[in-house]
Amino acid sequence: MTNCIFCKIISGEIPSVKIYEDEHVFAFMDIMPLSKGHTLLIPKTHRESVYDLTPDEAGNLFSVAPKIAAAIKETFNPEGLNLLNNNGAKAGQSVFHFHLHFIPRYGETDGFG
Ligand code: 5GP
Ligand code: ZN
């Protein structure tokens, strides 16, 4: 999709700190991290939200989720890790290309929730 920030990140038109990439998915650091190591995982095909994912596309995302989680754990050593996905503006979605948040948690020092 031409006017999508995350499609531009996948193509390299907008720079990002890449964590992981394969044929189907792309993972990168969130530009405004809620905590140290906040990472986003997205499908390479533009899909607006969870309603638009095929079962195969959902499978491709969740099959790499353990790998992303392990890399975050190894690098940042958080005490916990939230996986989160917002669908629709009412739910807090601000970028309309499906993304799964990986939000490391550091006990009482991470400042939220
Ligand atoms: P949402 O609110 O849609 O669930 O999450 C969108 C996320 O994308 C936010 O956490 C925001 O910081 C992140 N984001 C928005 N624009 C950019 C960008 O250009 N680069 C990166 N790396 N993250 C972005
Ligand atoms: Zn897109």
Distance of CA 69 from the midpoint of ligand 2 (Å): 23
Local confidence band at 102 (pLDDT 50, 70, 90 cut-offs): very high
- Who lines ligand 1 at CB under 6 A? 5, 14, 16, 28-32, 40, 86, 92-95
Longest dimension (CA), the chain: 41
pTM of the prediction? 0.96
pLDDT higher than threshold 90 for residue 113: no
3-state secondary structure the chain: CCCCHHHHHHHCCCCCCEEEECCCEEEEECCCCCCCCCEEEEECCCCCCHHHCCHHHHHHHHHHHHHHHHHHHHHHCCCEEEEECCCCHHHCCCCCCCCEEEEEECHHHCCCC
- Third-level CATH fold of 5-109: HIT family, subunit A (3.30.428)
Ligand nearest to the CA of 42: 2
What pLDDT score was predicted for residue 111? Answer: 59
Every domain of the chain and the residues it spans:
5-109
pLDDT tens for each residue of 64-88: 999 999 999 999 999 999 999 999 9
Interface pTM, i.e. ipTM: 0.99
